[in-house]
Chain A
Amino acid sequence: MNIKVKNLSKSFKTQNVLKNLTIDFPSNLTTTVVGPSGTGKSVMLKLITGLFEADSGSILFDNIDFTNSTKEVRSSICRKIGFLFQGAALFDSITVLENVMFPLIYSEKKDLSNSVMVERAREELKKVDMLDYENALPGEISIGMRKRVGIARAMITKPEILLFDEPNTGLDPLVGQEIYDLIKDLKRESKFTGIIVSHELPEVYQVSDKIVMLYGGDVHFDGSVSEFENSENPVVKQFKNGDIEGPIKPNQ
């Protein structure tokens, strides 16, 4: 499924977070959106899933305008999206297995029996190597494990779109690499349009087909990974090198 963000703007009180943002997220490719903290990357993801409403502009899923759609159309598009939240956002009152089953219970395929749903959830847990923890509560497992369960939950409905909000935040390099390996496996095994929001360079290159860089609510780079690596754009260069001096000012 192709996603197009057209002239998208969003502000909170007096702060303009996104300004006329236009990005194309090609079908079955993974686009990574990078940029300094507070630049509107997560806000863009939340606009795409309808968690926030845009001030202006449109979001098109295969040319269907999500922003001006009915509740039913939006719900049906949302069900095609898998979302890994920054903190995994597992429901803490139910077990790991029930968390993974959850989207199936509320999916459009309501005819699935409980045993089929349990079986499917176990398959997804096995893929992320969390089957041994199926009866644990989210509070009883580590953040890295929660992210793996989050990925299993996102994948159980076999979504056409997968969104990852800072998949490696709060993880040590080894567990972080495990998450990237999982994303690579998912890309090999199934087709989906992926959007990753991250500021982990260069680690995120390994799972990206395309890079978009946001700064100050604008797009400063949109191209392939190799183009990004070789870019002479001063904003991109400063961000890649982590220089203090340059056009990027903290908290802007």
Chain B
Amino acid sequence: MIKRISSLGNGFVDYLNALGESWVFVFKALSEAFEAPYEIKLFIKQLYVIGVQSISVVALVGGFTGAVLAVQGEYTLSQFGASAYTGSAVALSLIRELGPVLTALMVNGRAGSSMTAELGIMKISEQIDALKAMGINPIHHLITPRLLAGTISVPLLTAIFITVGIGGGYLVGVGTLDLAAGTFISVMKQSVTPTDVISGLVKSLIFGFCLTWISCFRGWKCGFGAVGVNKATTSAVVTSSVCILVLDYFLTAILTSMFLN
């Protein structure tokens, strides 16, 4: 019994240690953004890897999400004779909620896991040590460009997700559900306000920052060998996904009370 309590206690202490370390890690990475030499090339490379290379998958998921929303929205709203509001339902769901969350989850699965694996492999094959041995700060060189690129990429990808999603909803709504094209667009225009867009943008910025932070930190603290990389990658994807969904609730609550009330 005492052993069990002690191991629980040790686990809790380890968790608190890791939490503290992760804050120190992200603080260092952010402060390095203001230190010369500015790694513009590496930042642009990461924008390409995290952002540009995720466009196709984000657009694909966005298009189908919009299409599903149109089908479900039209069915539910038609029960109350309000199927004309399908465009509004699609746009608001995408802008406020599904756009930021699903984009972050997709980027997490595609780019976050690869970031963790890449950093983990660099660690176990002494590439990070090689940087240090050359007098190069690996946080400045490896983490800061990724953190900035991840934070910027996710809102941009969210915008693509929402745009393609609305397009998908429009195609299905107007093309197969016989909704009037003008009505679809006009109710959408009437219902979507700048605060909806801002709240979606704020969410996606925070999601982008958190998923990059968690992915980089897990790779940085990766254990030894293939098992270490495997554990770090799995843990990064699970932690980031849970974090995105939990944060989504709190951000929705905060942003709703700030903007919509």
Judge if B227 is at the interface, Cβ distance under 8 Å: no
Binds A, one of B56-64, B131-139, B180-188: B131-139
By a CB distance below 8 angstroms, the chain A residues around B248 are none
Q: Mark A39-55, 1 if CB is under 8 A from B, else 0.
A: 00000001001110000
Residue of A nearest to B49 (CB): A93
Report B118-133 residues with CB < 8 Å from chain A CB. 118, 121-122, 125-127, 129-130, 132-133
CB-contact partner of A89 in B118, B130, B135, B136, under 8 A = B130
CB-contact partner of B134 in A92, A93, A106, under 8 A = A106
Contact A85 B134 (CB under 8 A): no
Report B70-110 residues with CB < 8 Å from chain A CB. none
CB-contact partner of A102 in B118, B121, B129, B134, under 8 A = B134
Sort chain B's interface into a size bin: 10 to 19
In the assembled complex, how far is the CB of residue B222 from the closest CB belonging to chain A, in whole angstroms?
A: 15
Report A48-85 residues with CB < 8 Å from chain B CB. 49-51, 74-79, 81, 83, 85
The interface residues of chain A, by DSSP majority, are classed as loop
By a CB distance below 8 angstroms, the chain B residues around A93 are 118
By a CB distance below 8 angstroms, the chain A residues around B127 are 89-92
Report A101-139 residues with CB < 8 Å from chain B CB. 102-103, 106
In the assembled complex, how far is the CB of residue B31 from the closest CB belonging to chain A, in whole angstroms?
A: 13
Contact B126 A78 (CB under 8 A): no
Residue of A nearest to B124 (CB): A87
CB-contact partner of B133 in A51, A90, A91, under 8 A = A51
Judge if A27 is at the interface, Cβ distance under 8 Å: no
Contact A81 B133 (CB under 8 A): yes
The interface residues of chain B, by DSSP majority, are classed as helix
CA distance A89 to B132 in the complex (A): 12
Contact B126 A89 (CB under 8 A): yes
Given contacts A87-B126, A89-B126, A89-B127, contact A51 B132 (CB under 8 A): yes
Judge if A169 is at the interface, Cβ distance under 8 Å: no
In the assembled complex, how far is the CB of residue A90 from the closest CB belonging to chain B, in whole angstroms?
A: 8
Contact A51 B129 (CB under 8 A): yes
Residue of B nearest to A110 (CB): B37
Judge if A86 is at the interface, Cβ distance under 8 Å: yes
CB-contact partner of B126 in A74, A76, A86, A103, under 8 A = A86
CB-contact partner of B135 in A76, A85, A87, A91, under 8 A = A76
Residue of B nearest to A71 (CB): B137
By a CB distance below 8 angstroms, the chain B residues around A75 are 135
CA distance A70 to B249 in the complex (A): 45
Contact B134 A89 (CB under 8 A): no
By a CB distance below 8 angstroms, the chain B residues around A90 are 127, 130
Contact B130 A83 (CB under 8 A): yes
By a CB distance below 8 angstroms, the chain B residues around A81 are 133
Given contacts A87-B125, A89-B125, contact A106 B130 (CB under 8 A): no
CA distance A87 to B129 in the complex (A): 12
In the assembled complex, how far is the CB of residue A250 from the closest CB belonging to chain B, in whole angstroms?
A: 21
Would you list 6 pairs from A and B whose C-beta atoms are within 8 A, ordered by A residue? A50-B132, A51-B129, A78-B135, A91-B122, A103-B134, A106-B135
Residues of B within 8 A of A (CB): 118, 121-122, 125-127, 129-130, 132-136
A-B interface, 6 closest residue pairs, ranked by CB to CB distance from nearest: A78-B135, A89-B126, A89-B130, A75-B135, A83-B133, A79-B135
Q: 13 other contacts beyond A51-B133, A85-B133, A92-B125, with CB at 8 A cut-off?
A: A50-B132, A76-B135, A78-B134, A78-B135, A79-B134, A83-B134, A85-B129, A86-B126, A89-B130, A90-B130, A91-B127, A103-B134, A106-B136
